[in-house]
């Protein structure tokens, strides 16, 4: 085989392989979705959304408290994380001094890189131990720590993207700086910021490790934020490793519900960003 | 604006949830060994007393004791008695309340083997010390003549965390096999010579159920609820005994007569022709002082129910936990009064 | 005279401050500064808490903690080496699988695929990154592990069993299963970031190579990819950092055996997995301290890797993937 034919052969083979690798990766996504839809779809029923867990060996239970527990803790995390990230991001983009700005950005990146299990340890030392109990508060706090860097970076990034001309125009009209920010810059960046926040919330909704020893678990409804609380990711874990077929069923159903929520949120957020739906400042 | 909306929603959710029938919530954690019966009990008790919710998290005996010491749970459950040091570390001295009797069963997964395999303590120890590696090892075939054993690897499964079930298992092996006692010893989390670790009775059973060639030690209820294979174990009297309610009760017979006041006792390798050698009590650890009066009433109420109604539920299928001997239950009723 | 001047000066200053505060800008500045500073403070507090709570363990074992192989809660002797080994091995294995797959797919998406397909596929790959870890664990437990146990591992033992990496019983769970699931989880990061790095390579580089008679593959592998190598390395480090800290999927398939094994088929343990398994039930203060020290070790490792990743990605965007042509 002459040199050129050999090179052309290698060309086809290697390029073909890259194509195969891509197909493989995309196929994995479809396999995951397919598996979950198949196994989860069989198991999701009305009971799943409305009933509390049943003792092992009995059928008819559900994960209602896990769904609500997750919602509550994610809500708590958003309550803490979104304002901190949003306002902190405004500081970095609009007011930031050099040293303070650098310190905040650096530590936010650091916080972002903390393994989620270590975040759980921190929440344990700071909330569970002093309050002598596992709680949704501890779980929500842990999740908020994971949301803050995402919210911060998103806000700063999209605020910086707003063209200077917009700011200068408003300033030229005599508006004070804070007014410029609140009435002009933030609304202009709101679409991107909103997308980032939504993506961040979708991310923390699926986190398990920070909840393992902060919120623990609960077969019943938690009556206050100060009690152990069930959550979707944690029940998926405990039910998947158990021997009961009924529990496996529940794990698949919970997996489908969780994945469905996460993926739909992701798709919706990116769609918002791409299509350019402007959000009114509410 | 969005912030206020979220705040309002959160407040409403909190109010809404707390409005659920002013319930008394009790938090407990501990052993996975009795989890099948405890979850049945707490569910039945809740149906009988809808305002009392006992939330039990099965994190292992070690976990239960740790959380009790830390004060994060109202009571704990363990398959091994607390040591004196551990009792001292608790704010309020914990009282041991035996609840049921259970059996640690040798579960395995060999679809081609149709009979129950016979084991003795030496064989179990050798398997867990990684000396016996294949299912057709002579040590196994010697005890099971006539059974065609596959040549597959033995996949040894133990617990990955501090477990009361492990304590019962290793306690039995330490009493019967000197080499085990010196090399590994009896503890809730020993240095395992090898094998895979799984979290809780649940995951050990889960893995053995799905994996051909695996062997693990789990409580009887898990084996029965999941239709798993289990072994027949040779006891001190030389008989091969199946784990059943009767053989476990036989193991407790001696202890029942001479139960110490604090109910801390081990019944592994018990004497008796029909005694199942790897049996044990399992305990609820109740603080002797419960400051919250409502919680105290709820807990003592449950304990009384447990010693009467609960004992009737325990031996039902597919749980098969042996109920407490009558004189032990009577002594415990007296101990309830000690809870202030 | 001096007194009145001073008094006048003071009241003017305070009046100015008051005016400035009422002006709104200072309030906005202050409020946002407080929130930004809180991020800084909470992170510092986190590191401090980790440091303080791991003190008993650090003082007892010193640097020997990193080389000790015993994990004995009974005797209260703790050594982190088996966990560090497991963390490193599974992550390295994940990289060995994910790098060729990821860079290859990135090459396809950046160089070969038409824009529409490239964008759609990239979107789908990025969705993979959004899937929670516990769901990967759930799937791995019921699909990957049985496949490995029944087919994959026996095959490896039969064909490559002479190597010490493929010996021992086929548990299905272990280093191999964990490495493979980590590879799948980190693939999206490598693909997405490498693709962007490749897209930033100027067209004239490719065209110059092609003009010299190179095949498309030669142009890509010998010109474009080296040009984008900083960004590609950045993506690899980012993926590595993610793999090192991964908890749930690994816990479910690693086998939880705190020993060091040569064979990839053997069960092992990782730092994140042991913390997840043992933290809630650590029986002594020393055990908790040792677990927290391991969390600190993991955190330090990921800081270093993340810093390297950031440096590389920044270098890419700033210099424009340049090296002297």
C277 in reach of chain B (CB within 8 A): yes
Report CB contact under 8 Å: A224, B14: yes
Same domain, A30 and A127: no
A80 has a pLDDT exceeding 60: yes
Q: Strands (DSSP E) along B114-202, which ranges?
A: 118-119, 155-159, 196-198
pLDDT recorded at residue B129: 95
pLDDT recorded at residue C20: 55
Interface test with B, best of C169, C178, C253 (most B CBs within 10 A): C169
Question: Alpha-carbon distance A201 to A219, whole Å?
Answer: 25
Same domain, A233 and A271: yes
C267 CB neighbours in chain B (<8 A) are 195-197
pLDDT recorded at residue C167: 86
Report CB contact under 8 Å: B67, C280: yes
What mean pLDDT is predicted for residues A251-263?
92
CATH number of B109-224: 3.40.190.10
Same domain, A21 and A149: no
Going by pLDDT thresholds of 50, 70 and 90, the confidence category of residue B23 is confident
B59, B133, B194 member nearest C281 (Cβ)? B59
Is the residue at A75 inside a domain? yes
What mean pLDDT is predicted for residues C82-90?
94
Same domain, A150 and A17: no
Same domain, C256 and C307: yes
pLDDT recorded at residue A1: 63
Concatenating the DSSP letter of every residue in A32-63 gives HHHHHHHHHHHH--HHHHHPPPPPTT--S---
Question: Alpha-carbon distance C322 to C325, whole Å?
Answer: 8
C23 CB neighbours in chain A (<8 A) are 176
User: What is the dihedral angle through the alpha carbons of C257, C262, C263, C267, rounded to the nearest 10 degrees?
Assistant: 10
Is the residue at A195 inside a domain? yes
Subunits touching C (CB < 8 Å, at least 3 pairs)?
A: A, B
pLDDT recorded at residue B9: 56
Higher per-residue pLDDT: B59 or B1: B59
A217, A241, A282 member nearest B206 (Cβ)? A241
Q: Report which DSSP code applies to B54.
A: E
C321 in reach of chain B (CB within 8 A): no
Across all residues in chain C, what is the average pLDDT? 86
Going by pLDDT thresholds of 50, 70 and 90, the confidence category of residue B159 is very high
A224 CB neighbours in chain B (<8 A) are 14, 17-18
Express each pLDDT in A160-212 by its tens digit.
Answer: 989 989 888 988 988 888 888 888 888 988 888 988 999 999 999 999 999 99
What mean pLDDT is predicted for residues C109-113?
89
> How many domains in chain A?
2
B240 has a pLDDT exceeding 70: yes
Question: Which residues are CB-neighbours of A184 under 8 A, at least 6 positions away?
Answer: A166, A167, A169, A170, A175
Higher per-residue pLDDT: C8 or B100: B100
What mean pLDDT is predicted for residues C196-208?
89
Report CB contact under 8 Å: A29, C128: yes
The answer to whether residues B13 and A75 touch, using CB atoms and an 8 Å cutoff, is yes
Give chain A's radius of gyration (CA, Å). Answer: 24
Residue B216 three-state SS = strand
B118 has a pLDDT exceeding 60: yes
Across all residues in chain B, what is the average pLDDT? 89
Q: Closest Cα of chain A to C202: distance in Å? A: 20
B126 has a pLDDT exceeding 90: yes
Across all residues in chain A, what is the average pLDDT? 89
Same domain, C154 and C34: no
What mean pLDDT is predicted for residues C199-225?
89
Question: Alpha-carbon distance C149 to A32, whole Å?
Answer: 20
pLDDT recorded at residue B20: 45
Q: Give the domain CATH number at A159.
A: 1.10.3720.10
A279 has a pLDDT exceeding 60: no
Higher per-residue pLDDT: C13 or C35: C35
Interface test with B, best of C74, C266, C281 (most B CBs within 10 A): C281
Is the residue at A11 inside a domain? yes
Is the residue at A142 inside a domain? yes
What mean pLDDT is predicted for residues A110-129?
92
Same domain, C175 and C44: no
Weakest-pLDDT range from A139-148, B180-189, B195-204, B251-260: B251-260
Same domain, C140 and C243: yes
Instruction: Give the bridge partners for B294, in sequence order.
Output: none
Between CA C58 and CA C66, with CA C63 as vertex, the angle to 5 degrees is: 95
Same domain, A28 and A93: no
Same domain, A8 and A89: no
C283 CB neighbours in chain B (<8 A) are 62, 65-66, 162, 188-189
A187 in reach of chain B (CB within 8 A): no
Interface test with A, best of C23, C38, C43 (most A CBs within 10 A): C43
Q: Give the domain CATH number at C125.
A: 1.10.3720.10
Concatenating the DSSP letter of every residue in C138-205 gives HHIIIIIHHHIIIIIHHHHHHHHTTSGGG-S---S-SHHHHHHHHHHHHHHHHHHHHHHHHHTS-HHH
> How many domains in chain C?
2
The percent of residues above 90 in pLDDT, for chain B, comes to 60
A17 CB neighbours in chain C (<8 A) are 104
Report CB contact under 8 Å: C277, B161: yes
Question: Alpha-carbon distance C78 to C72, whole Å?
Answer: 6
pLDDT recorded at residue A280: 43
Report CB contact under 8 Å: B72, A223: no
Same domain, C38 and C106: no
Going by pLDDT thresholds of 50, 70 and 90, the confidence category of residue B215 is very high
C302 in reach of chain B (CB within 8 A): no
Query: B25-100+279-336 belongs to which CATH class?
Result: alpha beta
pLDDT recorded at residue C325: 38
The answer to whether residues A181 and A190 touch, using CB atoms and an 8 Å cutoff, is no
User: How many beta-carbon pairs below 8 A join chains A and B?
Assistant: 105
pLDDT recorded at residue B4: 62
Weakest-pLDDT range from B159-173, B285-299, C235-249, C275-289: C275-289
Same domain, C193 and C212: yes
What mean pLDDT is predicted for residues C245-257?
92
Question: Alpha-carbon distance C321 to A107, whole Å?
Answer: 27
Same domain, A9 and A83: no
Two domains, one topology: B25-100+279-336 and B109-224: yes
pLDDT recorded at residue C10: 52
Choose among C140, B208, C249: nearest CA to A243.
B208
Report CB contact under 8 Å: C278, B162: yes
Question: Alpha-carbon distance B204 to B38, whole Å?
Answer: 19
pLDDT recorded at residue B243: 92
Going by pLDDT thresholds of 50, 70 and 90, the confidence category of residue B53 is very high
Express each pLDDT in C155-180 by its tens digit.
Answer: 998 888 888 888 888 888 999 999 99
B206 has a pLDDT exceeding 60: yes
The answer to whether residues B272 and B251 touch, using CB atoms and an 8 Å cutoff, is yes
Residue A31 structural domain: 2-38
What mean pLDDT is predicted for residues B11-35?
71
- Intra-chain end-to-end CA distance of chain A, in Å: 71
pLDDT recorded at residue B178: 94
Report CB contact under 8 Å: A262, C130: yes
Is the residue at A57 inside a domain? no
Picking from C53, C78, C93, the residue at the C-terminal end of a domain is C53
Same domain, C214 and C127: yes
pTM of the model: 0.87
Same domain, C145 and C252: yes
pLDDT recorded at residue B302: 93
What mean pLDDT is predicted for residues C72-81?
86
Report CB contact under 8 Å: A228, B27: yes
The answer to whether residues A135 and A226 touch, using CB atoms and an 8 Å cutoff, is yes
Report CB contact under 8 Å: B196, C74: no
Same domain, A175 and A239: yes
pLDDT recorded at residue B2: 59
Bridge-based pairing of strands B75-78 and B214-219 is: unpaired
C265 has a pLDDT exceeding 70: yes
| ipTM, two decimals | 0.88
Q: Where are the domains of chain B?
A: 25-100+279-336, 109-224
Express each pLDDT in A207-230 by its tens digit.
Answer: 999 999 899 889 888 888 999 999
B323 has a pLDDT exceeding 70: yes
B44 has a pLDDT exceeding 80: yes
Is the residue at A54 inside a domain? no
Same domain, C227 and C297: yes
The values of phi and psi at residue A277, to 5°, are -80, 120
Same domain, A167 and A256: yes
Q: Closest Cα of chain A to C224: distance in Å? A: 14
pLDDT recorded at residue C179: 96
Between CA A193 and CA A201, with CA A195 as vertex, the angle to 5 degrees is: 105
Express each pLDDT in A50-76 by its tens digit.
Answer: 888 888 878 878 899 999 999 999 999
Same domain, C118 and C17: no
Same domain, A13 and A121: no
pLDDT recorded at residue C300: 92
CA distances from A72 to A39, A132, A143, A221, B9 (A): 27, 21, 11, 12, 10
B18 has a pLDDT exceeding 50: no
B70 CB neighbours in chain A (<8 A) are 129, 132
Same domain, A26 and A161: no
Instruction: Report the chain A residue with the minimal C-alpha distance to residue B46.
Output: A220
Instruction: Give Dmax over CA atoms of chain A in angstroms.
Output: 78
Question: Alpha-carbon distance B79 to B283, whole Å?
Answer: 6
Express each pLDDT in B266-314 by its tens digit.
Answer: 888 888 888 999 999 999 999 999 988 999 999 999 999 999 999 999 8
B63, B185, B211 member nearest C281 (Cβ)? B63
B11 has a pLDDT exceeding 60: no
Residue C202 structural domain: 62-324
The answer to whether residues B117 and B233 touch, using CB atoms and an 8 Å cutoff, is no
Going by pLDDT thresholds of 50, 70 and 90, the confidence category of residue C15 is low
């Amino acid at each position: 085989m002459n040199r050129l034919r050999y090179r052309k052969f290698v060309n086809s083979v290697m390029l073909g392989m890259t194509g195969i690798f891509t197909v493989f990766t995309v196929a994995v996504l479809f396999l995951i979705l397919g598996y979950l839809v198949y196994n989860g779809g069989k198991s999701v029923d009305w009971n799943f959304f409305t009933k509390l867990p049943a003792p092992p060996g009995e059928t008819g239970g559900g994960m209602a408290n896990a769904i609500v527990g997750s919602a509550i803790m994610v809500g708590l995390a958003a309550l803490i994380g979104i304002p901190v990230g949003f306002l902190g991001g405004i500081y970095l983009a609009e007011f930031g001094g050099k040293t303070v700005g650098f310190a905040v950005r650096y530590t936010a990146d650091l916080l972002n890189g903390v393994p989620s299990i270590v975040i759980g340890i921190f929440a344990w030392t700071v909330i569970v131990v002093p309050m002598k109990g596992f709680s949704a508060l501890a779980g929500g706090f842990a999740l908020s720590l994971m949301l803050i860097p995402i919210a911060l970076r998103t806000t700063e990034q999209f605020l910086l993207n707003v063209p200077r001309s917009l700011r200068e125009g408003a300033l030229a009209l005599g508006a004070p700086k804070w007014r410029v920010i609140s009435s002009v810059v933030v609304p202009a960046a709101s679409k991107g910021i909103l997308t980032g926040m939504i993506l961040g919330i979708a991310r923390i909704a699926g986190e398990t490790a920070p909840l393992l020893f902060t919120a623990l678990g609960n077969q019943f409804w938690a009556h206050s934020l100060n009690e152990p609380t069930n959550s979707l990711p944690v029940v998926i874990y405990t039910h998947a490793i158990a021997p009961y077929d009924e529990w496996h069923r529940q794990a698949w159903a919970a997996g489908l519900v969780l994945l469905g929520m996460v993926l739909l949120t992701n798709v919706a957020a990116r769609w918002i960003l791409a299509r350019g739906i402007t959000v009114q400042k509410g | 604006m969005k912030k206020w909306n979220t705040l309002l929603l959160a407040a409403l959710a909190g109010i809404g949830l707390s409005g659920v029938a002013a319930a008394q919530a009790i938090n407990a954690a501990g052993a996975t060994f009795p989890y099948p019966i405890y979850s049945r009990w707490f569910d039945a008790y809740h149906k009988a007393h809808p305002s009392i919710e006992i939330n039990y998290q099965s994190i292992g005996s070690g976990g239960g004791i740790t959380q009790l010491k830390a004060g994060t749970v109202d009571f704990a459950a363990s398959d091994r008695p607390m040591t004196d040091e551990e009792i001292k570390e608790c704010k309020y001295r914990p009282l041991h309340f035996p609840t049921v009797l259970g059996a640690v069963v040798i579960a395995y997964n060999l679809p081609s083997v149709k009979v129950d395999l016979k084991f003795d303590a030496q064989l179990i120890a050798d398997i867990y010390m990684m000396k016996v590696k294949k299912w057709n090892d002579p040590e196994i075939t010697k005890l099971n003549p006539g059974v065609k054993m596959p040549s597959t690897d033995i996949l040894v499964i133990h617990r990955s965390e501090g477990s009361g079930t492990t304590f019962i298992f290793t306690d039995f092996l330490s009493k019967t096999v000197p080499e085990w006692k010196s090399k590994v010893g009896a503890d809730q989390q020993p240095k395992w010579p090898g094998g895979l670790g799984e979290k809780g009775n649940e995951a050990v059973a889960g893995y053995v159920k799905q994996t051909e060639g695996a062997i693990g030690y789990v409580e009887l209820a898990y084996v029965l609820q999941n239709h798993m294979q289990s072994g027949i174990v040779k006891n001190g009297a030389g008989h091969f005994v199946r784990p059943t309610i009767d053989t476990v009760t036989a193991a407790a017979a001696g202890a029942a007569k001479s139960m110490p006041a604090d109910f801390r006792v081990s019944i592994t390798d018990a004497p008796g022709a029909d005694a199942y050698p790897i049996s044990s009590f399992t305990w609820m650890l109740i603080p002797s002082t419960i400051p919250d009066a409502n919680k105290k009433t709820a807990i003592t109420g449950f304990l009384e129910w447990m010693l009467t109604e609960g004992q009737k539920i325990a031996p039902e299928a597919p749980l098969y936990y042996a109920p407490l001997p009558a004189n032990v239950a009577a002594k415990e009723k007296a101990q309830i009064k000690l809870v202030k | 005279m001096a007194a009145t001047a001073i008094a006048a000066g003071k009241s003017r200053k305070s009046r100015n401050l008051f005016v400035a505060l009422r002006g709104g800008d200072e309030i906005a500045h202050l409020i946002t500064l407080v929130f930004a500073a809180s991020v800084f403070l909470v992170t510092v507090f986190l590191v401090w808490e980790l440091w303080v709570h791991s003190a008993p363990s650090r003082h007892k074992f010193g640097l020997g903690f990193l080389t000790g192989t015993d994990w004995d809660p009974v005797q209260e002797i703790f050594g982190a080496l088996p966990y560090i080994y497991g963390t490193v091995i599974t992550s390295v294995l994940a990289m060995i699988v994910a790098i060729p797959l990821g860079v290859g797919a990135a090459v396809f998406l950046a160089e070969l695929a038409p824009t529409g397909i490239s964008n759609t596929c990239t979107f789908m790959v990025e969705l993979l990154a959004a899937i929670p870890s516990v769901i990967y664990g759930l799937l791995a437990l019921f699909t990957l592990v049985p496949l490995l146990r029944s087919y994959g591992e026996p095959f490896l033992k039969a064909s490559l069993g002479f190597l010490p990496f493929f010996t021992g019983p086929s548990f299905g769970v272990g280093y191999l299963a964990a490495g493979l699931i980590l590879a799948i989880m980190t693939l999206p990061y490598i693909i997405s970031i490498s693709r962007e790095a490749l897209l930033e390579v100027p067209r004239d580089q490719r065209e110059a190579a092609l003009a010299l008679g190179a095949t498309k593959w030669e142009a890509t592998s010998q010109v474009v990819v080296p040009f984008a190598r900083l960004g590609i390395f950045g993506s690899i480090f980012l993926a590595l950092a993610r793999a090192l800290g991964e908890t749930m999927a690994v816990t479910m398939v690693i086998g939880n055996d705190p020993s060091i094994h040569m064979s990839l088929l053997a069960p092992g343990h990782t730092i994140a997995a042991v913390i997840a398994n043992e933290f809630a039930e650590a029986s002594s203060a020393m055990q908790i301290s040792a677990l927290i020290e391991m969390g600190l070790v993991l955190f330090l490792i990921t800081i270093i890797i993340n810093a390297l990743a950031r440096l590389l990605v920044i270098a890419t965007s700033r210099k424009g993937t340049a090296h002297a042509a």
